[in-house]
Amino acid sequence: MIDLIEATDTGIVLFVKIIPNASRTEIVGQFGDRVKVKVSASPEKGKANKAVCACLASALGVNNTCVSILHGESSPLKTIFIFGISILHAKSKLGIR
């Protein structure tokens, strides 16, 4: 099984699948080798990217500045870096195995 979270020296890398234009913003849970996140924002002018970063920051209890997109700015499949947390903390907060 592929890990949907990887540890780094300063935080974690999280692999996500984004669903823009959803009825509400929420972290759905594990979706194959990704974490599925629905956002109500549209994928125009980076609105969905900002919404997913804010959603993850809130769920993980970190500042918005600690969350950044590494890959996939214009794709629904994104690689996101989250500074200052561990895999155990992330899995606990996101409710994944």
Would you say the pTM of this structure is higher than 0.85? yes
At 22-78, the pLDDT tens digits run 999 999 988 888 999 999 999 999 999 999 999 999 999 999 999 999 999 999 999
pLDDT score for 1: 45
What number is the average pLDDT over the span 1-13?
Answer: 87
Tokens matching residue 4: 């949907």
pLDDT attached to residue 2: 60
Question: For 5-94, which CATH class?
Answer: alpha beta
Residue 97: per-residue pLDDT: 73
